[in-house]
Amino acid sequence: MSRAWRIAGGTVAELEHEPALAGEDDVLIAVEAASLGPVELAARAAVPGLAAVGRVIATGPGGRHLEGARVVVGPAQACGDCDLCRRGAAPVCPAGRTLGVDAAGTLAEQVVARACWVLPLGAELDLPGPTAAVLGHEAALAYALYARAGVGPRDPTVVLGDGPVARLLTQILIAKNAGPGGEAGGDRPRKIFAVDGVGVAEALAGAGPRATIAVAATTGADAPVAGLDAALAREVTVIGVAGAHPDLFPELAALVVRGELDLAGASRVVPIGELAAALAAPRDGRALVVTIG
């Protein structure tokens, strides 16, 4: 029997869970550690969990090259064939699924993913330890925000947020020579990031003419929109970012290997048996990584 866990009302319940390979390029991953997004997002699926690191233990015909590999998997499991996928929009593929949202997530002993959307670790991209799971979601979302906003070297940037995505995004901006500085607004166009569920109204109010605001979609449907009309009148560009394309994973892993992105410092690692207590504890701005295998 394979096990999984569900989060409901602050409690953690164990489930029987036997994932099966459904597609020719599916891989079955024995989960070492899972990265949990906000509970309100992760709990949409019977098995939550948006990302993981683990080892491939079974494959379909299209995934045999990954057999035995240690891999990182993120939430986006797109079809790979539609027009949106061909234009690099895998996180919003209408025919795809999202782990931990509308498909069984990573808080389990085993999870199924598409071979084309996992990153094999090892050689130049060796990321030891459970915090490698953070690369699949929090770090990837941070990088997607950076990329979608079109940040250039020395661009003035502002990061509004108090969680792991904000921490990791700040590190990415510094690594790319565009570290945060100054206040929102001013005469120069700015890149403003609203992440971790906070900062949307502040970003709209403070954006100067022709600024760009990148908003992480995980802030939720109830995020404040006060000031939107005024911001649009200043020709402010507002970009929603639902997630990261898995093709970004190698660049992220390279940043970690070079010491420019600290996954461990942005993570809190707990064993599965201590997850309920960890969920009840106050937030401390770090990603929650749950060790399973």
Write down all domains in the chain, each with its CATH number in brackets. Answer: 3-137+262-291 (3.90.180.10), 142-241 (3.40.50.720)
Q: List pLDDT tens digits, range 155-183.
A: 888 898 888 999 999 999 999 988 666 55
What residues pair up with 103 in beta bridges, in sequence order? 99
Check residue 198 and give its pLDDT. 67
3-state secondary structure of 142: helix
Q: State which H helix or E strand residue 98 sits in.
A: strand 97-98
40: left (phi over 0), alpha (psi -120 to 50) or beta: alpha
Rounded-to-integer distance, Cα 272 and Cα 269, Å: 10
Q: What is the DSSP letter of 283?
A: P
Give the span between the Cα atoms of 37 and 19, in whole angstroms. Answer: 21
| More confident call, 222 vs 272 | 272
Distance, in Å, from the CA atom of 49 to the CA atom of 195, rounded to the nearest integer, reads 19
Per residue in 32-67, pLDDT (tens digit) is 999 987 654 445 678 999 999 999 999 999 999 999
What is the average pLDDT across 218-235?
68
For 227-251, write each residue's pLDDT tens digit: 778 888 888 888 889 889 898 999 9
pLDDT at residue 181, rounded to an integer: 60
The CA distance from 287 to 229, in Å, is 34
What average pLDDT does range 200-212 have in this prediction?
84
CA–CA gap between residue 53 and residue 34 (Å, rounded): 7
What are the tokens at 283? 């937030």
How many Å apart are CA 241 and CA 150, to the nearest integer? Answer: 13
Q: pLDDT value at position 221?
A: 45
**pTM for this predicted structure:** 0.90
Q: What share of the chain is helix, strand, coil (3-state, %, to 5)?
A: 30, 30, 40
pLDDT of residue 220: 47
Q: In this structure, what token pair is assigned to residue 250? A: 């190698």
Q: Going along 157-286, which residue ranges are E strands? A: 157-160, 191-194, 212-216, 237-241, 267-271
Which residues is 65 bridged to in the sheet?
A: none
